[in-house]
Structure 1
């Protein structure tokens, strides 16, 4: 087993594609495949599962990847310390539901640790994909919410993937609306008051179960409903159509301006937002710093709960 083989495994897991990893590593795809095959035979495990849909980490591979990353990181520290080598690019990935505070924290992380070289990823994506990204180590951290309705299903998936949920904050539900919406001056609103306005929600694709919805009260009937796939589109529709969505109430005027505001929703629900990671793997320095940035970015949540 060589350090180069460990780097190959890390790059394939990062890209989710043998072909894409080969391009990034400047070697041929057959050479990369043979190197991984030799490593698997030497160790007597299957690191990557190959299917018609592509390549993914096996359960053994996920555990191996955690150790491989630690070894490679230590080797890079040695090279930097004793060989006067140029610092290696820093890598970090996070997958999250569509939360502005997750972006805020990411900005803080890059500002704090942005060297001459880094490669980071911020994936605003579907709930099921967040769990899968963290399970397969495509992302080190995932951000999602639990409540009484979805907790049993989400926790079951986390347990089967050997993932742990760590609470960040608990919030009372709010709606996000335009400052020009007729409800903007209300101290709070009820579901009945929202019936005349378009309800905006994030689509969940193949896993379009109520339990994976990013918005609470997903089982209610909404007379006017629009599904979107990204936060920018949703915010534009909030303004252009006087629509609304249901979320935590945590917004950032620095990144989102002052055109959208939170208004408390009059209901008995609560939202527990948290981050997920592998249960038995040590977090990187960047992941730990990102978690601290998340806590700082969500400090206002306590005032909204």
Structure 2
């Protein structure tokens, strides 16, 4: 019966991920009536309604959302126990972290991979994710660790979310957003940019940027409270974004400071911007009961070493 219930838990989690019973049945390669019956049996055994059904799909109820979080945590714990004691799995080195789009996380991963003992099997998942999704995935135990990026004005809201969901957080670093430009742009001669300097410029924006699901609505173009461009170019791939900034006149993009882009030979520069509302933070978060693996500890150490090397604290 326990094995049967665990299978049903997997079904419920897939329904949540898919957003509908029909899509979940397709993903599970089973008939929709059989999946609906399994869900009904699970709800009856628990004495709760896990999902509200509608023509648009399914939405977890309050009790259902609590069950799904617990079920996911239990399934992950079972997997961890199997990995700990199974002779073919217990020696595998693992890391699962979600990070924002940045150069220093890519550098840290490269350093880690060059350090790793290849004689011991390993499984590393380093996934790019926006902060709101990373927080959601930590809460749902769909990721072990995450580095999140947020604006100064969002700090108290995030701290409230973390307290309510038993999430531990610690600072990686903080900084002011910079403007990235072509090294040949006339503005490259300036020491610091002002709002008036960007009038008439095109702005490159990450195409998948979405409003924060947890926090009050604010401008979702990248930096809170900054100059808003009339012309916006939405591009997903980072290399394409930088190529556009490099090659299209009067084009810029916002971003965290990135030492890998400091070389003029790359055709790009990044410049400070005179605005009081461009301060951002990056924090490490994980569930309170989660024990980081050796690889995860080392990855975070490397991140902090890079930050200290490239952006030492002011004396």
Q: TM-score, normalised on structure 2?
A: 0.69
Q: Do the aligned partners of residues 119 and 290 (structure 1) sit closer, same or farther apart at CA in structure 2, a change above 3 Å counting?
A: closer
Q: 1:167 and 1:207, CA in 2 relative to 1: closer, same or farther beyond 3 A?
A: closer
User: What is the aligned counterpart of 2:274 among 263, 266, 270?
Assistant: 266
Q: Distance in 2 between matches of 1:140 and 1:195?
A: 43
| Alignment partner, residue 303 of structure 2 | 294
* Residue of 229, 249, 254 corresponding to 1:246: 254
CA deviation after TM superposition for structure 1 residue 273, in Å: 1.7
Aligned pair in 2 of structure 1 residues 41, 98: CA closer, same or farther (>3 Å)?
Answer: same
SS in 1 for 2:187: coil
C-alpha distance after superposition, 1:119-151 (max 9, x if no partner): 6251334x4323323222222233333333333
Q: Is the 8 A contact 2:259 2:310 kept in 1?
A: no
Provide the C-alpha distance between the structure 2 equivalents of 1:131 and 1:274, rounded to a whole number of angstroms: 11
Superposition deviation, residue 99 in structure 1: 1.9
1:103 aligns with 2:106: yes
* Aligned partner of 1:123 among 107, 115, 128: 128
- The 1:72/1:225 distance shift into structure 2, 3 A limit, reads closer
Q: CA deviation at 1:193?
A: 1.9
Q: How far did 1:185 drift?
A: 4.2
What is the deviation of 1:89?
Answer: 6.4
Instruction: Tell me the matched-pair count.
Output: 292
The answer to whether the 8 Å contact 2:99/2:126 transfers is no
Q: Deviations over 1:144-167 (max 9, x none)?
A: 333333334444444554444422
User: Out of 191, 194, 201, which is 1:197 matched to?
Assistant: 201
Aligned mates of 2:33, 2:302 — CA distance in 1: 41
Change (3 A) 1:41 1:109: farther
State the 1:97 CA deviation: 3.0
The question of whether the paired residues in 2 share the 8 Å contact of 1:166 and 1:276 is answered with yes
Q: Which of residues 223, 234, 241 in structure 2 aligns to 1:234?
A: 241
Q: For residues 253 and 197 of structure 1, what CA distance do their matches in structure 2 show?
A: 20
Q: Could you say which residue in structure 1 is the equivalent of 2:154?
A: 150
Q: Rg: which structure is higher?
A: 2
Distance in 2 between residues matched to 1:160 and 1:236, nearest whole Å: 42
Kept in 1, the 8 Å contact 2:173–2:283? The answer is: yes
Aligned counterpart in structure 2 of residue 172 of structure 1, from 168, 172, 176: 176
Q: Which consecutive unaligned segments of at least 5 residues does structure 1 have?
A: none
Mapping for residues 206-245 of structure 1, pairs under 5 Å: 209-210=217-218, 213-218=221-226, 220-242=227-249, 243-245=251-253
Which residue of 1 is the match for residue 286 of structure 2?
277
TM-score with structure 1 setting the length? 0.70
Return the alpha-carbon distance in structure 1 between the equivalents of residues 301 and 258 of structure 2.
17
For residues 82-103 of structure 1, give each alpha carbon's deviation from its aligned partner in whole angstroms, at most 9, with x where no partner exists: xxx3667666443333222233
